[in-house]
């Protein structure tokens, strides 16, 4: 597996950084792709056998360049993790058209476009793994997050199925991971540090999720052994959404 190359969008911070570190620990060579190119490069240099890339996932040409640069730099690419996301907790009736389009452009359109670009490349080589980061918000309509964020994540779940069906005959799997509230700075800022304990009490298991475990789920779906799993959504929400 050491020869396999994984691209992680939004990989320099937050959950993306956990995913990058986990994939690297499992032997992948990792392309850390982020708007914050300095942070992406710094993380890549810290890890070794990794590279940082600047990318704006709302720009199709930038995603095309990312794919070409990774193939040129590493000699190939085998895994794509669509993690880049924009989160805003604006009240539903106050979301402007511009804000709706901005959130959808990153979360949904960026994911969809990257699936097209990398999915085509993976199909051409007869192997690939795509993991899309969804969210509990896309399944239950959201609670603490904005309605545009929840809607974008629901769209990602549908796109995951569409691409899974299209790419399955070509050795490419496409899956989603759908985390509930994680013990992360972003969740703590949305909920409020003073409210975290009460917030956790409303989760059936009584605790926030662990981002490091989410990263392990992603790594498992990114592995060659995950060949029989496609079009799936793996939930990790503490029992907040059961199906």
Residues annotated as catalytic are: 149
Residue 84 corresponds to which tokens in the numbers above? Answer: 């880049």
Contact 161, 231 (CB under 8 A): yes
Distance CA 13, CA 167 (A): 30
> Among 178, 181, 189, which residue's Cα sits nearest to residue 210?
181
Contact 80, 71 (CB under 8 A): no
Contact 70, 40 (CB under 8 A): no
One-character DSSP codes across 25-83: HTT-EEEEEES-HHHHHHHHHHHSSEEEEE--TT-HHHHHHHHHHHHHHHS---EEEE-
Distance CA 241, CA 194 (A): 25
Q: What are the residues whose beta carbons fall under 8 Å from the beta carbon of 25, sequence distance 6 or more?
A: none
Distance CA 237, CA 125 (A): 35
């Amino acid at each position: 597996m050491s020869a396999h190359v994984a691209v992680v969008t939004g990989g320099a911070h937050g959950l993306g950084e956990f995913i990058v570190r986990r994939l690297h620990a499992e032997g992948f060579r990792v392309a850390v792709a982020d708007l914050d190119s300095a942070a992406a490069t710094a993380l890549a240099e810290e890890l070794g056998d990794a590279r940082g890339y600047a990318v704006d996932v709302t720009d199709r040409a930038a995603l095309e360049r990312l794919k070409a640069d990774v193939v040129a730099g590493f000699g190939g690419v085998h895994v794509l993790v669509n993690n880049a996301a924009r989160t805003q907790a604006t009240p539903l009736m106050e979301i402007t058209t511009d804000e709706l389009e901005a959130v959808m452009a990153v979360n949904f359109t960026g994911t969809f476009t990257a699936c097209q670009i990398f999915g085509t490349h993976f199909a051409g080589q007869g192997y690939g793994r795509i993991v899309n980061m969804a969210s509990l918000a896309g399944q239950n309509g959201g609670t603490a997050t904005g309605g545009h964020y929840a809607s974008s994540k629901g769209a990602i779940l549908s796109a995951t199925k569409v691409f899974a069906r299209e790419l399955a005959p070509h050795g490419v799997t496409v899956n989603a991971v759908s985390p509930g509230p994680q013990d992360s700075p972003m969740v703590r800022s949305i909920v409020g540090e003073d409210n975290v304990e009460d917030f956790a009490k409303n989760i059936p298991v009584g605790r926030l999720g662990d981002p490091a475990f989410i990263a392990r789920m992603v790594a498992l779906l990114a592995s060659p052994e995950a060949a029989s799993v496609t079009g799936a959504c793996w939930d990790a929400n503490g029992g907040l959404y059961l199906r």
